[in-house]
Amino acid sequence: MKMKAGVEQSVYTLVLLSMLPEKAVLPGDAISQQLGTSRTYTLKLLRKLVNADLISSTAGIKGGYKLNKKPEDISIYDVYLATTDNQSLYSPNGILKDMLNLNEDDQCCMLMELMDEAEIAWKNVLIRETIASLYERITIPKFQEKIEAVQQMINEKSIIN
Amino acid sequence: MKMKAGVEQSVYTLVLLSMLPEKAVLPGDAISQQLGTSRTYTLKLLRKLVNADLISSTAGIKGGYKLNKKPEDISIYDVYLATTDNQSLYSPNGILKDMLNLNEDDQCCMLMELMDEAEIAWKNVLIRETIASLYERITIPKFQEKIEAVQQMINEKSIIN
DNA sequence: GTACTTTTACTCGGATACCGTCTGTCCGAGTAATTATGG
DNA sequence: CCATAATTACTCGGACAGACGGTATCCGAGTAAAAGTAC
C-alpha cells in the first residue's frame, strides 16, 4: 500500500501549468523535459488529467495543454482521483463471511465502515490543499531564482493563441 | 494504492485468537481452516504477527498461537503495521527537485508534509478501533449461532497448557 | 490571390512489455511433548 | 522404573514461483496550423 509516483508527477505537472499566461498552452514535451520524467508516460498521465476535466488539450501544431479550472479550484485529492483508477483504498475480501460461515447475502464486513471512515479523514486533508496553495508554498525567497528560470522556460515554449 | 488482503486476514486471525480461553493456544492449521485461507500463507502472516509481538507462538507438539496482549490493547493500526513492511504511504520521488533544478541537499517536497498530515488523520482512525471493539461489533444477535459454532471449534482444537 | 494539397507538430488511445510488490508454495530446520526402547 | 532414543506435530524462515497493478514504450490514427502548389 503505497502512494504511486504518478500522483506526485501529476501534481507538479499542474503546478507547472498554473504558471502559464492566460490563453496559452504548453506542449507535452516541454512538460516532461522540465519535470525530468519519461516523455511517453507523462503524455499518458496528461491524458488522464484531460479525461478528468482538470486540464484541456488542443491537438495539432501550436497545440498543448492548459488548465481547465482555476488553480485554487483543483485540490490534491482531485489529482489523486484522476490519476488512480480505483477510488477506495479498501474493499473487503469476505474473510469474515468465511470465518463465521455466513450466507452469501450476509456480506458483513466490520472493517468496511472503519476503513471508510479512515479514508474520509485522509481524503479531507487532501481536499484542503489545492494547486494554488501548493504553488504558494514553493514561492519562498530561497527558490526565487529557480522559479524565475521555470517561468522563463514557459515564456519560451508556451504558445499563446 | 490499495489496502492488501493480508491486513484483513490478519485482523480476523487476531479476532479468532481473542476468543481463546486463558493459557490456551490454537494451531495454525485450525486458523487457516476456519478463515478459509491458504494454509502456508496464513502461517507466513502469523510469523509477521509474532515478530511484531502481537501474538506469541510455542513450537512442538501441543504448540500453537495465542495473543500476546489484551484484545483491547491491539489496535487495527498495529495489525496494519505488523503485516505491511513499509510504514509511510507516501515517499517523495524528487520530481520537484528536478523541476526546479534544485541542489541535492535541497530536498524540498511540498507534498511531503501534506501527505504526512493526511496519513496521520487516516492512522488516527485505525488506532481508535481495537480487536476487542471489533469483536463487540460482531457479537450481534443475528450472528449468535455462528459465533457459538466458532467458539465450539476453538474448544475442540485449542490446546490448554 | 484563392482553393487545394502536403507537410509539420502536436494529441489520442490501444497494445504491449517490464518491473516491483503482494500472494502463495515448497522445503529443510528447529522444538517440545509423547512414545518406544534398553538396561 | 528410569534414562535415552525415536517419533510426532507443531513453528521458523528463507527461497522461489505466480498474479497483479503501476510504470514505461511503441505505433498508428486524428487534428489543426503552416507551407507549398496549381490555376
Report the domain count for chain A. 1
How large a percentage of chain A has pLDDT more than 90? 88
Q: Is residue A119 part of a domain?
A: no
Q: How confident is the model at residue A50 (pLDDT cuts 50, 70, 90)?
A: very high
pLDDT, tens digit, 9 for 90 and up, residues A51-107 = 999 999 999 999 999 999 999 999 999 999 999 987 789 999 999 999 998 876 666
Contacts of A10 in chain B (CB under 8 A): none
Check residue A116 and give its pLDDT. Answer: 95
Q: Does the pLDDT value for residue A19 go beyond 80? A: yes
Residue B106 amino acid letter: D
* Domain at B12, CATH number: 1.10.10.10
The residue-averaged pLDDT of B78-99 equals 91
CB within 8 Å: A110 and B5: no
Check residue A102 and give its pLDDT. Answer: 84
Check residue A106 and give its pLDDT. Answer: 67
Chain B touched by A134 (CB under 8 Å): yes
CB within 8 Å: B138 and A35: no
CB within 8 Å: B147 and A100: yes
Q: pTM of this prediction? A: 0.92
Mean per-residue pLDDT over chain B, rounded: 94
CB within 8 Å: B9 and A95: yes
pLDDT, tens digit, 9 for 90 and up, residues B98-156 = 999 887 666 678 899 999 999 999 999 999 999 999 999 999 999 999 999 999 999 99
Nearest-angstrom CA–CA distance, A27 and B20: 64
pLDDT, tens digit, 9 for 90 and up, residues A120-141 = 999 999 999 999 999 999 999 9
The residue-averaged pLDDT of A147-155 equals 96
CB within 7 A of strand D (chain B, 39-68): 43-44, 46-47, 50-51, 57-61, 63-65
Q: Is residue B32 part of a domain?
A: yes
Q: Is residue B101 part of a domain?
A: no
The residue-averaged pLDDT of B33-49 equals 97
Q: Is residue B25 part of a domain?
A: yes
Residue of A nearest to B125 (CA): A118
Nearest-angstrom CA–CA distance, B38 and A32: 44
The residue-averaged pLDDT of B60-89 equals 94
Q: Is residue B108 part of a domain?
A: no
Q: Is residue A156 part of a domain?
A: yes
Structural domain including B145 reads: 5-85+131-160
Strand C bases with any atom < 7 A from protein Cβ: 8-15, 21-27, 30-34
Q: Is residue B102 part of a domain?
A: no
CA-based R_g, chain A, Å: 20
Q: Is residue B15 part of a domain?
A: yes
The residue-averaged pLDDT of B35-45 equals 97
The residue-averaged pLDDT of A9-32 equals 97
Asked if strand D contacts B99 at the CB level, meaning under 7 A, the answer is no
Check residue B104 and give its pLDDT. Answer: 67
Asked if strand C contacts B62 at the CB level, meaning under 7 A, the answer is yes
Strand D bases with any atom < 7 A from protein Cβ: 8-15, 21-27, 30-34
Check residue A107 and give its pLDDT. Answer: 65
Mean per-residue pLDDT over chain A, rounded: 94
Check residue A110 and give its pLDDT. Answer: 84
Closest CA–CA distance from residue A77 to any residue of chain B (Å): 11
Residue B36 amino acid letter: G
At CA B117, angle to CA A84 and CA A14, rounded to 5?
45
